[in-house]
Structure 1
Amino acid sequence: MNNVESSRRPGRLGVGVIGAGRVGAVLGAALRTAGHAVVGVSAVSEASRERAETLLPGVPILDIPVIVERAELVLLAVPDDALPGLVEGLARLGVWQPGQLVVHTSGRSGTEVLAPARRAGAIPLAIHPAMTFTGLSLDLGRLPECTFGITAPAAVLPIAQALVVEMGAEPVIIEEESRPLYHAALAHASNHLVTLASQSAQLLSDLGVQRPDRMLGPLMKASLENALSSGESALTGPVARGDVETVRTHTAALARHDAADVALAYRDMARATTLRALDRGLLSAEQGAAVLAALEPTPTEDEP
């Protein structure tokens, strides 16, 4: 590799970070803390440049082909949809190198997306952190509580595992064909939790509650902890009790409040909750049917 520092202790790599977004800058900093040398970072927007300067001080901001030419390990931390075109474009430029580690952080993709680099002799690895990032230094302290979904050819799987362990996190093997479902599970848990909290806070704000976060925080934290430790046996509330009139009152109130997206989300989640409660015997068939009926729009109420 060109211009890779020769003074590093054995086993340390020259890392090139492509994409100084919230994930790339943090993982680059974590690898640097583990003793690897970050030889270059790409950053286009002002925010990404500031992030690179904060988390990777002293690392030069370079063009992507230059980074690939200099690095022994290339960390691709770009949006999922941009990844295939980037890998193919760099292959057309002929910059991928035999023996070079090419690591991406996409959740939905395994190593097949790195096929153009592999054909040039590079070693493909997929490591996806199951964590939401702020892009700040505090993320580094959260990595020890984080797991990474890793995918790699069997012969080089230990390399992916070692990189994750070096960053202080736990590697969990995800098969290539399972990556989309794996990513859907994480997106459902993380992204939709944000929507849920925001919708509930909106309703409380509309009612005049000054600090909806203080009202929702203890409730949501306790619910999450109970759900993770006890599963669906921790379920409480009107659906779990088969409290049909309460469910009907909720849907009517949401319809009157002119919060179409909240009403739709409430109905869909309540239906899903009812079906899962039925499947696990938490509700009788009669109770479940009554709750599902209560969730149907009334003749004068359009489904949002």
Structure 2
Amino acid sequence: MGNTSPLSVGIVGAGRVGAALGAALAAAGHQIIAASGRSAASRTRIAELLPTAAVRPAEEVAAGTRLVIVSVPDDALTPLIADLAEAGALGPDQIVAHTSGAHGLGALAPAVVAGAGPLALHPAMTFTGTRLDLDRLRSGVSFGVTAPVDLRAFATRIVADLGGAVEWIPEERRALYHAALAHGSNHLVTLVNEAMDRLRDAGVTDPARVLDPLLHAALDNTLRLGDAALTGPVSRGDAGTVARHLADLGASAPESVPAYLALARRTADRAVAAGRLLPADAEQLLDVLAHNRLAHNRLAHDCEEATA
């Protein structure tokens, strides 16, 4: 485990994440022996990012390598590991690392029974499946890692070879860790697209240009200052402004109202807790949100009954 010589590596699942991690390990001096990928896109990624890797079925990729990186959708991970173990593709002197954020070591139980060492190795980054990912990895990415004590040094070495930093995540906290990342990144995509749609509704011809400096400043300030970065009508307790927002959204884009209400209420709670908004100043705002929530729920219920 303390050996620093190059490893033979197999990539089971050459999707965006697996191909990029394989390419980064190759750049660090490791040998990418083989990779599996069923789709045309996966095979293209193997050709472009993993040119030394042979394209093989998953069980052949796993059987011939010291480090097996399994990068498949979350729901496919557990049955795939079971299939690989049953096929005799996993055994002693191997380390099997999956890249799922939601799963921990439990998903690798069949590999452990077969004698392999388990790692949960999740990069906290979004991937494109192109060489752009390598630049982002080299800039420094955190990896949520769950590992047995005897594999922690090995995991630290691999993450360092990938240009990253280790964040140790307890097994029982993997889902919470992944929920936080999905909430912050995936929902951010939805939120920004919603904002661009509503700007188009308001007559803005280039929403991305308008939002670019605002969103970058908001994100930078939040990462540095936390709740102290909060600005806007909710943090000021401007109930009248929020009421007008909800009225216009209800008229032009009612599908955006539930998300606005939920985020405005959560923003108000955080603003009060952080001392940015006095409870007395929040009362009228909270009344507006509660009234609109009831009205929206009533309207949604009436629509469901009408279409039943």
TM (norm. structure 2) is 0.92
Structure 2: where are the runs of 5+ without partners?
301-308
CA distance in 2, matches of 1:92, 1:300: 54
Question: Residue 180 of structure 2: which of 185, 190, 193 is its match?
Answer: 185
Task: Give the residue type in structure 2 aligned to 1:274.
Answer: A
Contact 2:35 2:55 in 1 (8 A): yes
Q: Report Cα offsets for 1:121-164 as digits up to 9, x if no partner.
A: 10101110001111110110111321101110011111111100
Q: Residue 154 of structure 1 corresponds to which residue in structure 2?
A: 149
Q: Residue 277 of structure 2 corresponds to which residue in structure 1?
A: 283
Q: Residue 205 of structure 2 corresponds to which residue in structure 1?
A: 210
Contact 2:122 2:143 in 1 (8 A): yes
Task: Give the residue type in structure 2 aligned to 1:44.
Answer: R
Q: In the alignment, does 2:160 pair up with 1:165?
A: yes
Q: After superposition, where does 1:68-217 map in structure 2 within 5 Å? A: 68-143=62-137, 144-217=139-212
**Residues 269/298 of structure 1: CA separation in 2 closer, same or farther (3 Å cut):** closer
Q: Residue 256 of structure 1 corresponds to which residue in structure 2?
A: 251
CA distance in 2, matches of 1:10, 1:279: 49
Alpha-carbon offset, residue 267 of structure 1: 0.6
Alpha-carbon offset, residue 299 of structure 1: 9.6
Task: Give the residue type in structure 1 aligned to 2:204.
Answer: V
Alpha-carbon offset, residue 250 of structure 1: 0.5
Q: Secondary structure at the match of 1:296?
A: helix
Contact 1:25 1:55 in 2 (8 A): yes
Q: Secondary structure at the match of 2:296?
A: coil
CA distance in 2, matches of 1:10, 1:124: 19
Task: Give the residue type in structure 1 aligned to 2:200.
Answer: S
Q: Residue 53 of structure 1 corresponds to which residue in structure 2?
A: 47
CA distance in 2, matches of 1:155, 1:299: 52
Of 282-291 and 36-45, deviating more is 282-291
CA distance in 2, matches of 1:13, 1:299: 57
Q: Would you say how many aligned residue pairs link Structure 1 and Structure 2?
A: 295
Alpha-carbon offset, residue 211 of structure 1: 1.2
Q: Secondary structure at the match of 1:221?
A: helix
Structure 1: where are the runs of 5+ without partners?
1-8
Question: Residue 34 of structure 2: which of 40, 64, 78 is its match?
Answer: 40
Q: Report Cα offsets for 1:246-302 as digits up to 9, x if no partner.
A: 011101110001341x21111100000011111222222222222111113459943
Task: Give the residue type in structure 1 aligned to 2:234.
Answer: V
CA distance in 1, matches of 2:292, 2:134: 51
Task: Give the residue type in structure 2 aligned to 1:104.
Answer: H
CA distance in 1, matches of 2:235, 2:173: 32
CA distance in 1, matches of 2:210, 2:72: 36
Task: Give the residue type in structure 1 aligned to 2:212.
Answer: G
Contact 1:111 1:126 in 2 (8 A): yes
Q: Residue 5 of structure 1 corresponds to which residue in structure 2?
A: none
RMSD of aligned Cα (Å): 1.6
Alpha-carbon offset, residue 10 of structure 1: 6.4
Question: Residue 233 of structure 1: which of 221, 228, 234 is its match?
Answer: 228
Q: Report Cα offsets for 1:30-65 as digits up to 9, x if no partner.
A: 011111111111111111111111111132111011
Q: In the alignment, does 2:266 pair up with 1:272?
A: yes
Q: Residue 20 of structure 1 corresponds to which residue in structure 2?
A: 14
Q: Report Cα offsets for 1:151-202 as digits up to 9, x if no partner.
A: 1001111111110001111111111111111111111100010000000001
CA distance in 2, matches of 1:132, 1:299: 34
Contact 2:8 2:31 in 1 (8 A): yes
Contact 1:23 1:135 in 2 (8 A): yes
TM (norm. structure 1) is 0.94
CA distance in 1, matches of 2:4, 2:271: 56
Contact 1:255 1:301 in 2 (8 A): no
CA distance in 2, matches of 1:299, 1:50: 48
Percent identity between matched residues is 46
